Structure 1
Amino acid sequence: MRVVRGAVVAAVVSAVVGAGLLVTTPSTPVAMADASEITDPRLLAQIAAAGDAGSGERRTQSVDSTSIAVEVLTADDTAVSAAIVRLGGAVTGRITDELVQASVPLSRLNELATTPAALTVRAPRRAGYTPGGTQRAELVPGTGIPGAEIDITNAAAWHAAGFGGAGIKVGIVDYFDLRLWTAAEHGPQPSLVNGHQFCKDTSGFRLCAGNAIVGGSDGQHGVAVAEIVKDMAPAAELFIATVGTASDLQDAITWFAAQGVTIVTRSLGSSYDGPGDGTGPLASVVDYAASLGLVWFNSGGNDALDGYMRRPVPTSLPANGYVDFDRGAGVDTWLRLDAGYSICGVLFDGIRWSNDWYLPASQRTDYSLEFWEPLSSTNQFIDSYNPLAMSEVTGIDLDRNPANGMQNTYDAAQVAGAAPLEADDLCVYPQNIFGDFGGIVFMRVKRNAATPVGAAPDQLEIALGDGLLELGYYDVAGSASKPVVDSKNPSLVAVGAVDPPAGNAIGYYSSQGPTFDGRIKPDVSAPAGFNSVTFGQAFSGTSAAAPVAAGIAALLQGAGLAVPGRSTAALVKHFVADLGAPGPDNTFGAGKVLLPSPPAALSTEPGKYVPLSSPTRVFDSRGTPAPGLGVGPYAPGAVIDVAVLAGLPVSPDSVSAVAVNITSTGTPVTGFVQASPYLAAATGGTSTLNISTAGSDRPNFAIVPVGQGGRISLYLDAGGNAIVDVLGYFQTGAPSATDGRFVAIAPERWMDTRVTGLLPAGSVTPAPVAPGGTATARRLPASAVPATGLSALVVNVTAAGAGAAGYLVALPSGGNPAGTQHSTVNFTASAPAANTAIVPIGPDGSVAVYTTAGTHIILDVVGYITDSAATLATTGMFRSVTPYRAYDSRQPSVGAFGPGQARTIALNTVPGVAGDASAVSANLTVTGPNAIGFLTVYPLVEPATSNLNFGPGQTVANGALLRLSPTGTVVAKMSQSGHVLIDVNGFFLS
């Protein structure tokens, strides 16, 4: 005997929205209809219903006073929209190059179907529904404590430290009964008057009264979701939206963005609208949301038990033959389904065979569905029983209209152009009450005659939104491959459920990947099964897990630790407890969300620079595993926390920042790497180095403030491998120092192998340095750098005119490059490349550069580090600030540089930087230049030096220690047009 889940059932979900939605189908399959015909069974039935006069006579096609709502699938929404207007219709919504929703005169539908850009004309589909709650097994009880998720995720500690998500706006897409909304649990009630409520339903599902949300039987669900968000982020501001269709959902996203919402959470299911590879109308809505800077959290689905199955269909299945659902040697062509407790009976997400999705219509297998129910209760508790004769069953009338006769066959007609998908968002209502649940349905799937069969078996997927598959027939793997959840967009986070919430086991219902194209889902897991004040009992299901993760995102954004969009998603996926198999997996995703200790303020004590005798490699992902990630290369969006002081002879409490060389290698795509203090900067808010060519090696120098525990964080927007070499650190504890102070000078060019007079020691004519050669810079006679009292030079090193790819190593004059494991500059033959370095001086007070490939070498000196013989002073001591983007010409109010243009930029206005700072530690980036060129940044008088070099279209970064003018400004000059970005992470005292 199967066990009905008791009181918890209603808390997982309540009834399905759309009680008036009538799902019908023609009595005769239309498998061989012309490609220009309307073949959607639901739309055909609605056309027939609209064509019935009161007497039952059919209207003629010339009557065009009646219009009908339709969705048109298309790759050209502009052309389809124009056609709809031309035919006298009205466009009510659209998703770019995916879908147009419209109201169209009945008499013009056939013309619309023949429009070249119209791929499919169908009845509107719902954008979502509250997940089904009919279950065979009893969940392990949760903690039974309202708000328990805040302790389980460590959010309570963040609240105690003053972090509650203040200033962050969260949008919730769901169904709401606002009569259940209380100020104590949910905050101020959203309304049209206060601008916190949105409702749009162009489908006729009766979800809205004007622009206001209509509370229905599903309305408890959304209010319970809001309760969780407010538990997690009590200071966040909530905005709510209810929508009917996919295009309505996109309009809600537009509205959210206009209100300043940066986080969206949606705990709804969706019927199939694509092959499970992250494409389709709803996936496009996710992409649209990401383009507006929103991060989206979505419930991962509750289909791992009794909600999803996959069966191969042998190529030997004859025409008009029925699919065998049995796993073994037996034969079962009658799939038993038990209706759920919702008003929809058996709700289908759909039946699809994605292997045919991208084939032409003429090559797709065409299946039709038959629905039957038993006439007798004799075998109602034998789940595996199949009817032995047709006399045991009767058809289920899908449109429930006796005047139309028996309509128990459903066929979307793949050979006529329909996608390899049947029964999407279909409700099947049995009239019996047999079995333990809402009645028994038998489904048969038939391969229609005269349709092709491919060389490989079709993989038939059957997914339910509510109801139960035949006992023991379900599959877990692949159950999460559904719309929104299967999105490829890095700003989408699909959330699985750990239930009981304080445990380490995935909820038995929690859907699992992979997607059709083999990607991992869910992205993370979160607690579910804790008590809900709104429901008055445990709220289980991934519907409860998603808002937990969204609440964590609100805390992170409110603490200034993440910028909106994919960076927030990356940080949420980073702060997890890895469960199950090491690393991300299709059960838990990256792991169970878990906040670290609350953020602490950065040290603002002045520090002196302490160089290491030689660069120390503290992290190399090619051989060193990162927690939760293993050994690289990593996927884009990975976050790595590096203990940069481990093994160094210094206490982390006495270090404010480190000087590092960071190298990106083996990136699968272009992008950037950000190095920032652990838990003390906005992930994605600044950049440290940029990768313009996938797979290339790119190093960059940076001074990075150190966060809690002596750690820095690397955000690998482009993925790949990362290497961190520590050159030295800034030690605090004394207000002044003799050694370790930075003295900025007007940049001086000490070496240029292209120019007579600046040649390296021993050279007499301009020439590239040979492979394996070392060029020693001559100290300028009139240099601002003193002959004594210094330990290192701060230099900018450039490779230009290289004959092949290679790298440079800056080292003390007289030094031996043998055994060096780090590089200063990596270059190719395509364009110059530069990097900054702090290089200890040799016995002659100079430095040298070694090269692995023939190239010209340029060395500019921008300052020096004092030694113990210098005067005791505070000037040149370093103070960290939270990394901050001080300048970005991409802002509409600023604009790109023109060729040769110079701009004066104030840098002493950066938060935390003293007004009289002598210099700043910065990262310079050029993006989108139109030609090969260079950027020079200087205090007042333009020098004959450069800070970074770039090629056309490249994005190139270089760390820099920039001397400021007496008024705290610098001048940035571009030799070619392009954009300039300046990020500041600290300053030097005057």
Structure 2
Amino acid sequence: MRRTVPTNLATGGYVDFDPGAGVDTWLRLDGANVALDGVRWANDWYLPAAQKSDYSVEFWVPTVDPTTQSNPEHWDPTGNASRITVVDAHQTAGANPLEAADMQFTPTNSYGSYGGITYLRIKLNPGSSVGATPDAMEIELASGLTELGYSQASGSSARPVVDSRSIGLIAVGAVDPAAGSVIAPYSSQGPTTDGRIKPDLSAPSGLTSTIYTGASGFQGTSAAAPTAAGAAAILQGAHLANPLTTSALLRSFATEYGDLGAPGADNVFGAGKLVLPDPPAAPALGYSARSKYVPLGAPTRVLDTRPAPDHVGPAVLTGPYPTQTVFEFHVLGTGGVPTTGVSAVAINLTSVGSLSAGYVQAYPSLRATTGATSTLNISSIGGPRPNFAVVPVGEGGNISVFLPVGGEAVIDVMGYFADNQTTSSDGRFVPIPTPERWMDTRGLGGAPLPLSFGGRPRLAAPGEVIDVPVLRTTAVPATGVSALVVTLTAADASANGFLRVMPKGMVNPQHSNLNCTPESAVANVAIVPLGANGQLSVGTQRSVNIILDVVGYITSGTTAAGTTGLFMPITPGRAADTRLAPPSPLIGGSIRRFQITALTAVGAPVVPGSAIGISGNLTVTQPQASGWLKVFPGFEPPTSNLNYGMSQTVAAGALLKLDGSGGVNARMSKTGHVIIDVNGYFLP
């Protein structure tokens, strides 16, 4: 049974078991031997000992037969009962919020129809209080009967040895028979004491094996749990999950392939019956399709999981999502992306309404490890946070999104990579030798100002559209270019808002590329088709300084055909992480080289030594102060790749040129850690 203990329960007061308007602090238990799994309350697991609610459990035996009273089930035995045992683990001394675990009690009477009657009372100890949030209390009997009208269906176990919110644990219900769609009567049901869905998922039970050969087979959650464990082992063995993400991936498969009961997660089946998808077609890991980039006319929103009126995409992909959620999105055939012949998509992925700090990952479905890389990071909970990413297309034309932070996800497609290109004139990425700063409205470092500024630095005005000047000394050729690869940075914003970069002359743009805040500068990457006069424009919602850097370009159909700059998507992997033992943060102002090609560590990206560039994601974490990161192949450029605030974790997509030995240099203005993830490379 479950009861809510109000915050105004007096010190020394007893818990009220009556779910209605009455008061009943005596819980009648019938049975010659009463066994408790325990008494547990949910709110205190993470609190310091001094802040925990401290309860004791009392066992009383009546001296008068309750069955002879006018209201035998709910009779108040005050004055007619003796206290026999008190159990107190002393939570304020550090004990977990759990009392009377595996406690057995034999009454000294034979009242009632089941060999005896015991009363249980739960007391808030002197010097303790419930706290700011009511305690959600759970009382679990292993044997014995509770008062009529007070008990509930089988529920959460009251004997956790670790916190049941741990992402490394999976609560497994049982579907019996195994091939059926009915929850077993012995399967524990939720919710948990703190209101979460329980179980996490259900797995087949009633299995026949070489050991259990009878008609009923191997039954119970003792059979369902090993079934789920076997599925977890398969996923980890196939490098599709790690120990901290296996639960999330298993729940996603149960939702997609085995949802039973009410639509979505419920307290009977959890996410659904565990069903693994078919193994991916060869190659299970890695890709071999040379691809060219095809820009869309304008970024197109293909998914917005927010409810109507914002929602875009399949109705089944409607949030908000809880933390530790994985979902698949069929990206082929959406927003101008063809239904076949696509190896990767270029997207802007945005997290909205996150429930916690952390990261979001977009990756090819069934072709990468959930949680092995990151696409964007959340330091400020709830606000929008976009990032550019090239995402290889996975099994069935799907990409997966892992939301450890929960909330909503928005995907805008900028273009795609058409595969099976022997050679091509258009769609090849050419990184320029040194990234260039084409515009800085602050007027710093000699960077050009927009022509409309009349030579005077200033903030861009709200709603202003600014044409980006072409750098006179640029390495970008005057012809043979269809799009520029740029890093757009917003600084000194007057309020929260957005920026968009677009072809000059674009009519009625509806997209955004980054969200700016007054707290710190924000950067993002974009691949932008050229507009009128071969130029780009930037539009702003707020007063803000705008910086635009160019790192390379995409060839047009007027160039000679070749292979240089064709894209090869790979299984995403982590090339560098300065947090790994022994931690070695990048010291502010110093330059460090990171090798990208020919890495052999487990989980590292497979990039050949001949690659001229990579597609990936850069992340800064644990910086000691606000600053910037720049990554470059040779001479240090005047540009930067991302900006960060003190102690923030910030990510930015990147298309990077490699040096002649297959590496890159990195410099941070302030000390912090650097992470480099890679999802593809460009041919020489």
Provide the TM-score with structure 2 as the length reference.
0.84
Query: Could you report, residue by residue, the CA deviation over 1:825-853 in whole angstroms, capped at 9, with x for unpaired residues?
Result: 21111111111100000121121111111
Pairing 1:483–2:171 present? no
1:334–1:831 CA distance, 2 compared to 1 (3 A): closer
Q: Secondary structure at the match of 1:575?
A: helix
1:433–1:700 CA distance, 2 compared to 1 (3 A): same
Q: Aligned residue for 2:250?
A: 572
Q: Secondary structure at the match of 1:680?
A: coil
Count residues in correspondence: 643
Which of the numbers 445, 469, 474 marks the counterpart of 1:778?
469
Q: Aligned residue for 1:611?
A: 295
1:718 Cα deviation from its structure 2 partner? 1.0
1:673 Cα deviation from its structure 2 partner? 0.8
Q: Aligned residue for 1:658?
A: 345
Which of the numbers 221, 239, 243 marks the counterpart of 1:560?
239
* Greater displacement, 351-360 / 761-770: 351-360
Q: Aligned residue for 2:76?
A: none
1:459 Cα deviation from its structure 2 partner? 8.8
The one-letter amino acid paired with 1:846 is: Q
CA contact (8 A) 2:38 2:158 kept: no
Pairing 1:916–2:610 present? yes
CA contact (8 A) 2:361 2:403 kept: yes
Q: Aligned residue for 1:889?
A: 578
Q: Aligned residue for 1:596?
A: 277
CA contact (8 A) 1:373 1:440 kept: no
Structure 2 residue runs without a partner (length 5+): 70-81, 600-604
Q: Aligned residue for 1:587?
A: 268
Pairing 1:511–2:188 present? yes
1:464 Cα deviation from its structure 2 partner? 2.0
Q: Aligned residue for 1:228?
A: none
Q: Aligned residue for 2:438?
A: 750
1:648 Cα deviation from its structure 2 partner? 4.8
CA contact (8 A) 2:55 2:124 kept: no
Q: Partners in 1 of 2:189 and 2:365 — Cα distance?
A: 32
1:949 Cα deviation from its structure 2 partner? 1.1
Q: Partners in 1 of 2:140 and 2:580 — Cα distance?
A: 46
Q: Partners in 2 of 1:729 and 1:706 — Cα distance?
A: 10
Q: Secondary structure at the match of 2:118?
A: strand
Q: Partners in 1 of 2:296 and 2:90 — Cα distance?
A: 71
Q: Aligned residue for 1:370?
A: 60
Equivalent positions of 1:311-460 (< 5 A) are: 335=28, 337-338=30-31, 346-351=34-39, 368-370=58-60, 387-388=67-68, 409-412=84-87, 423-428=100-105, 440-445=115-120
CA contact (8 A) 2:137 2:193 kept: no
1:984 Cα deviation from its structure 2 partner? 0.3
1:716–1:370 CA distance, 2 compared to 1 (3 A): same
Structure 1 residue runs without a partner (length 5+): 1-307, 340-344, 375-384, 390-406
CA contact (8 A) 1:793 1:864 kept: yes
The one-letter amino acid paired with 2:476 is: V
1:891 Cα deviation from its structure 2 partner? 1.2
Pairing 1:968–2:659 present? no
1:416–1:885 CA distance, 2 compared to 1 (3 A): closer
1:633 Cα deviation from its structure 2 partner? 2.3
1:445 Cα deviation from its structure 2 partner? 3.5
Between Structure 1 and Structure 2, the one with more strand by share is 2
Q: Secondary structure at the match of 2:588?
A: coil
Q: Partners in 2 of 1:968 and 1:449 — Cα distance?
A: 66
CA contact (8 A) 2:302 2:313 kept: no
1:783 Cα deviation from its structure 2 partner? 1.6
Q: Partners in 1 of 2:410 and 2:342 — Cα distance?
A: 21
CA contact (8 A) 1:325 1:335 kept: no
Pairing 1:800–2:475 present? no
1:626–1:474 CA distance, 2 compared to 1 (3 A): farther
Q: Aligned residue for 1:520?
A: 197
Query: Could you report, residue by residue, the CA deviation over 1:891-950 in whole angstroms, capped at 9, with x for unpaired residues?
Result: 123500111111111112254322111110010111111122111111111111111111
Q: Partners in 2 of 1:411 and 1:929 — Cα distance?
A: 52
Q: Secondary structure at the match of 2:323?
A: coil
Equivalent positions of 1:147-296 (< 5 A) are: none
Which of the numbers 484, 494, 499 marks the counterpart of 2:176?
499
CA contact (8 A) 1:584 1:629 kept: no
Q: Aligned residue for 1:980?
A: 674
Q: Partners in 2 of 1:745 and 1:868 — Cα distance?
A: 19
Q: Aligned residue for 1:877?
A: 566
The one-letter amino acid paired with 2:305 is: S
CA contact (8 A) 1:902 1:973 kept: yes
1:498–1:543 CA distance, 2 compared to 1 (3 A): same
1:504 Cα deviation from its structure 2 partner? 1.7
Q: Aligned residue for 2:333?
A: 646
1:544–1:844 CA distance, 2 compared to 1 (3 A): same
Q: Partners in 1 of 2:41 and 2:587 — Cα distance?
A: 54
Q: Partners in 2 of 1:509 and 1:963 — Cα distance?
A: 60
CA contact (8 A) 1:641 1:711 kept: yes
1:856 Cα deviation from its structure 2 partner? 1.2
CA contact (8 A) 1:923 1:983 kept: yes
1:940–1:767 CA distance, 2 compared to 1 (3 A): same
Query: Could you report, residue by residue, the CA deviation over 1:752-801 in whole angstroms, capped at 9, with x for unpaired residues?
Result: 11225511133221112111112212212232111111110011111122
Q: Partners in 2 of 1:664 and 1:658 — Cα distance?
A: 18
CA contact (8 A) 2:370 2:402 kept: yes
Q: Partners in 1 of 2:182 and 2:568 — Cα distance?
A: 46
Which of the numbers 344, 369, 375 marks the counterpart of 1:682?
369
Q: Secondary structure at the match of 2:432?
A: strand
1:473 Cα deviation from its structure 2 partner? 6.3
Q: Aligned residue for 2:354?
A: 667
Q: Partners in 1 of 2:430 and 2:44 — Cα distance?
A: 68
Provide the TM-score with structure 1 as the length reference.
0.59
Q: Aligned residue for 1:636?
A: 323
1:465 Cα deviation from its structure 2 partner? 2.7
Equivalent positions of 1:699-718 (< 5 A) are: 699-718=386-405
Q: Aligned residue for 1:844?
A: 533
Pairing 1:827–2:520 present? no
1:360 Cα deviation from its structure 2 partner? 9.8
Query: Could you report, residue by residue, the CA deviation over 1:329-375 in whole angstroms, capped at 9, with x for unpaired residues?
Result: 9x998946456xxxxx54321356889999999x988763235899x
Q: Aligned residue for 2:74?
A: none
1:862 Cα deviation from its structure 2 partner? 0.8
Pairing 1:932–2:613 present? no
Q: Secondary structure at the match of 2:486?
A: strand
Pairing 1:789–2:480 present? yes
Q: Secondary structure at the match of 2:543?
A: coil
CA contact (8 A) 2:292 2:427 kept: yes
CA contact (8 A) 1:310 1:475 kept: no
1:533 Cα deviation from its structure 2 partner? 4.0
CA contact (8 A) 1:619 1:725 kept: yes
1:543 Cα deviation from its structure 2 partner? 2.3
Q: Secondary structure at the match of 1:544?
A: helix
Between Structure 1 and Structure 2, the one with more helix by share is 1
1:462–1:371 CA distance, 2 compared to 1 (3 A): farther
1:727–1:337 CA distance, 2 compared to 1 (3 A): same
1:325 Cα deviation from its structure 2 partner? 8.6
Pairing 1:863–2:536 present? no
CA contact (8 A) 1:480 1:513 kept: no
Q: Which protein has the larger Cα radius of gyration, Structure 1 or Structure 2?
A: 1
1:663 Cα deviation from its structure 2 partner? 0.8
Q: Partners in 2 of 1:740 and 1:705 — Cα distance?
A: 16
1:587 Cα deviation from its structure 2 partner? 1.6
Q: Secondary structure at the match of 1:681?
A: coil
Q: Secondary structure at the match of 1:857?
A: strand
Q: Partners in 2 of 1:641 and 1:471 — Cα distance?
A: 46
CA contact (8 A) 2:392 2:570 kept: yes
1:815 Cα deviation from its structure 2 partner? 2.2
CA contact (8 A) 1:311 1:325 kept: no
The one-letter amino acid paired with 1:745 is: I
Q: Partners in 2 of 1:692 and 1:457 — Cα distance?
A: 29
